[in-house]
Amino acid sequence: MKKIQMVDLGGQYEGIKEQVNSAIATIMETSAFINGPEVRSFQAELEEYLGVKHVIPCANGTDALQIAMMGLGLQPGDEVITADFTFAATVEVIALLQLIPVLVDVEPDSFNIDIAAVEKAITPKTKAIVPVHLFGQCANMDAIMELAEKHNLFVIEDNAQAIGADYTFDDGRKQKAGTIGHVGATSFFPSKNLGAYGDGGAIFTNDDELAHTLRGIVNHGMYERYHHDVVGVNSRLDSIQAAVLRAKLPKLDGYCDSRRAAARSYNEAFKGQPHIITPKTIKCDIATNDDSNCHVFHQYTLRITNGKRDALVKHLADNDIPCGVYYPIPLHKQKAYVDERYNETDFPVTNQLIKEVISLPMHTELDSEQIDFITKTVLEFVNG
C-alpha cells in the first residue's frame, strides 16, 4: 500500500504533468509573469464553467474576501454576520477593514451557518452576511437570500471549500456555489479542490458595476496605468498559477466525482456505528445519486460522539494515518476575536463540534486499499 496522505498533490500532478510543464515553459520563455495570457484565459474559462458574468482573479482567498467587502463599500462600524465554526480568514478580513464581526452558531448536520441564528443577529447596523460553504457543501442559500432581501443586506459567499458544487434552489433551479450572492470569493490554495501550486484566489459576481470596481481594487485602484481612481491593493494571480489552474479546471468535475466516491466508501464502512456520525448531505443523497453534486467533499468530516476523538487522532497517527481537526477552537474564543457581546449559550452546536469533529484523508488519489485500511483502523479503535 502506498503511503497515505491527507492530500496527494504529487499523485494528482502526474495526470496533468505534460500540460503544466509545457505551459510553465512558455511563460518562462515569454516572461509574461503578471496579467499574461494564461491569466486572461483562465478567467474566461472559469466564467464559463461557473456560469457567472465576471471572475476577477487575485492573489489569494483571503484577499478575495477583503476585496469583495471593499468593493461593496462597507464602512467601519458596519456589522457583518458570519459563522463561528470556520477558518479565521473569514472574520480576519472583517476586522482588518474595521467592520464589526458578528459570529453566530452553525447547524449540527451540515456544519453551515444557522439561519435562525443569523436572523436573530440582524440589527440596524447589519450590512452583510458571509455564509461559508464549509467542507464542500453550500449553506442554505434560499433562506439567506430571502433574509438579505428582506433586510437589504449584501451576501458575500465564502466559497473557498466548495468550488464546483451545485446548489439546488427550492424551486428546482441549480446554480454553482459562489455565484448566488451579490459576490463570491474563493481560494486556490494548493490543497483546495481546484488548487494552484502556490497562493491564488478569485472573486465572482454578476454585477457589472461591482466587477468594474473590483478590477480596479485588485490592481492598486488603477484602470489606466498611474491613474488611481479607487483605493486599491496589490493582489494579482500570477501567470504560472493560472497555467496550473487551467490544466486542472477541465478535470474539476472528475476530481469532485473521485472525492464523492471516496466519501461513499467511508459512509458505507461507518454505517450503523453508534459513536460515529457521518457527513450529511442536505440537498441530495450522494449514497444513491451519482449525478448529484451538492457536496464536493473538500473535507470528509466525522463526529466522534463517545468522547474519544483526541485519542482517535493519536491512534491514527500511531498507524501513520494523517487526519485533521477543523476547527479545534471556535472563533469567538480566539484571543484576537474575543468580545463581551458573545455568550456561550449562543454557541451550543459549535462548542460541541469542536470536541467531536475529525477529518479523514480526502483527495482525488485515494484508492480502495487505503480507504479500507483507514476505516478498519478507525473502527478497531472506536469499537475497542
Contact of 145 with 129, CB cutoff 8 Å: no
What pLDDT is attached to residue 290?
64
b (16+ CB within 10 A) / e for 256-272 = bbbbbbbbbbbbebbee
Let me know how long the chain is: 384
pLDDT band at 254 (very low <50, low <70, confident <90, very high): very high
- pLDDT band for 316, please (50, 70, 90 cuts): very high
Q: What is the pTM of this model?
A: 0.96
Per-residue confidence (pLDDT) for residue 284, from 0 to 100: 85
pLDDT tens digits for range 185-215: 999 999 999 999 999 999 999 999 999 999 9
